[in-house]
Amino acid sequence: MISTIGTTAIQTTTSPNSLVMNPTSMLVEMKSFIPSSYTFETEIQKIKQELLTGSLDCSAKDETNEQYLYEMQDIIDHLPKLPEIQQQKLTIPEFDEIEVKATDSVEIKKFIRK
């Protein structure tokens, strides 16, 4: 490959077996394989939901990946279930009035007033 910078020509050679990756061209080529309507975020959310509900299809083309999916589902299934979150109406605590006696010390009277 010959590149020209200004008036200087630079020649670079690569062996025929070397692999040179250009990230920009890789992204452009990936877009041709992935439909524009597909979003990874949606797919990830779908997989998470299926894992949590126990309805994930664990079949895969590769045995290692399939075993990994079964193990993940098994781990998720054995986690303790979280209790339902319920909101309760706040209540203002009410206290009975403490009677001050003539025999109470000054410190006790201060404590009772607080």
Indicate whether 59 belongs to any domain. yes
Whether residue 51 contacts residue 73, with contact meaning beta carbons closer than 8 Å, is answered with: yes
Indicate whether 42 belongs to any domain. yes
Total number of domains in the chain: 1
In this structure, what token pair is assigned to residue 95?
């206290």
Please give the pLDDT value at position 59: 81
- Cα–Cα distance measured from residue 75 to residue 64, given in angstroms and rounded to the nearest whole number: 16
Indicate whether 73 belongs to any domain. yes
Indicate whether 62 belongs to any domain. yes
Pairing status of strand 8-11 against strand 2-5: antiparallel
- Cα–Cα distance measured from residue 42 to residue 36, given in angstroms and rounded to the nearest whole number: 13
Indicate whether 64 belongs to any domain. yes
> Domain containing 50: what range?
37-80
pLDDT: which is higher, 9 or 110 = 110
Choose the weakest-confidence range: 11-15, 44-48, 88-92.
Answer: 11-15
